[in-house]
Amino acid sequence: MVLDSNQSQRKAVSNSDGRPVFHKQANKPIDSEAPALSLHEDREAYFQKLAKEAHYAPDGKKTVSVRTLRRWYQTYRKQGIEGLKKKRRSDLGQPRQRNRTKVDRCEAHKRQLATRSDVTINKLLQAEFFSVLPASTMYRHLRIRGATKTQLGVVREKVRCRWTRETPNSLWMGDFSHGPLALVDGKARQTYLSVWIDHRLSVRIGS
């Protein structure tokens, strides 16, 4: 009997009727009529099984794709367990290559008008790049580049004024609020309350 390379670690014996039965090193019998899986096929089947399961991680349950499992396996074979450790980025503190141009545009928009918010800047990025940046990422890089509103010298002073008048009817103040439901023609209708007062006299003008 001739064994191929995928069956080199298996030994052939014969049962009572002369039909060959293959045994793995773990002495697990496999009927010769069933297709023998290669080591590669066994590994792929195991990866497929792992990819369908959820695994516990420090930040909760996660699933891992078959492609990632293959990459981890090849890395482990070449570099051992050290190769699987997360490596520190060489460009730590700098935007990733795919975001570098967008961060540059963020800085330009902010320096052009320091009071622009992340919402406004992201609208400009969406029109130019068809994608946006998370607000935390945007402000982190703007702070590193010295391009936040405060770093650009914009200070918003509080507005204070005296709400007083010398004569009646010079200033009225009003407010609106939702009132209780009222039955109108057998149906519940929302009511609204509005009250106006004269600021000088502090008396109700109307409601």
Which of 87, 113, 139 terminates a domain? The answer is 87
The stretches in the chain having pLDDT less than 50 are: 1-37
Model pLDDT, residue 88: 75
Handedness of CA 23, 31, 44, 63 (dihedral sign): negative
Q: Are residues 154 and 178 in the same domain?
A: no
100 plus 146 within the same structural domain = yes
* 3 state SS of 183: strand
In a domain, 189, yes or no: yes
The count of domains in the chain is 3
Instruction: Tell me if 195 is assigned to some domain.
Output: yes
**Token pair 């023998």 is at which residue?**
36
Question: In three state form, how does the secondary structure of 162-173 look?
Answer: CCCCCCCCCCEE
Quote the pLDDT of residue 89. 65
Helix (H) or strand (E) holding 112: helix 97-112
Residue 108: predicted pLDDT: 93
For residues 99 and 121, what is the distance between their CA atoms, to the nearest angstrom? 14
Q: Specify whether 110 is located in the same domain as 149.
A: yes
Say if residues 183 and 189 touch (Cβ distance below 8 Å): yes
Task: Please report whether residue 13 resides in a domain.
Answer: no
| Domain interval for residue 185 | 172-206
User: 104 and 135 share a domain?
Assistant: yes
Q: Is residue 197 part of a domain?
A: yes
Q: At what angle do helices 66-79 and 39-51 cross, to 10 degrees?
A: 130
Query: What is the pLDDT at residue 24?
Result: 36
Q: Are residues 79 and 124 in the same domain?
A: no
Q: Clarify whether residues 156 and 94 are in a common domain.
A: yes
Residues 109 and 148 both lie in one domain = yes
Contact 72, 84 (CB under 8 A): yes
Whether the Cβ atoms of residue 168 and residue 148 lie closer than 8 Å to each other: no
* Boundary residue ending a domain (70, 87, 104): 87
* Gap between the Cα atoms of 138 and 136, Å rounded: 5
CB 132 within 8 A of CB 124: no
pLDDT at res. 55: 83
